[in-house]
Amino acid sequence: MNPHCFMIEVEPQPGNLLGAHVSKAISHIWLLSTDIKEARDIVFGFLKSDLWEVKEEKELTRRSTAGTSNQVSFNAE
């Protein structure tokens, strides 16, 4: 299993109780999966079932952190 991080701009849909408080949000979701496509399908399905509409998936890049052996940081571009 590999960790996959998704940063997604979402808007609440009718019936989402948070819609009274926010008009849009940025969702950060980590998911363990052996396949990134499967992970993306699970994340998008979860958001849809929780009444959030995906507006944009932000691209994340993976880069090693200088001076360390195992740390990885994810940055939106």
The residue among 44, 23, 33 whose CA lies nearest residue 1 is 33
- 7: containing domain: 2-76
Domains in the chain: how many in total? 1
Tell me how far apart the alpha carbons of residues 65 and 73 are, in angstroms, rounded to a whole number. 7
- Tell me the C-alpha distance between 70 and 67, whole Å: 10
CB 51 within 8 A of CB 16: yes
Burial class (CB in 10 A: 0-12, 13-18, 19+), 31: middle
pLDDT tens-digit profile of 36-48? 999 999 999 999 9
Can you give the pLDDT at residue 63? 53
The percentage of the chain sitting over the pLDDT mark of 90, rounded to a whole number, equals 65
pTM over 0.75: no
Alpha-carbon distance of 51 to 49, in angstroms, equals: 5
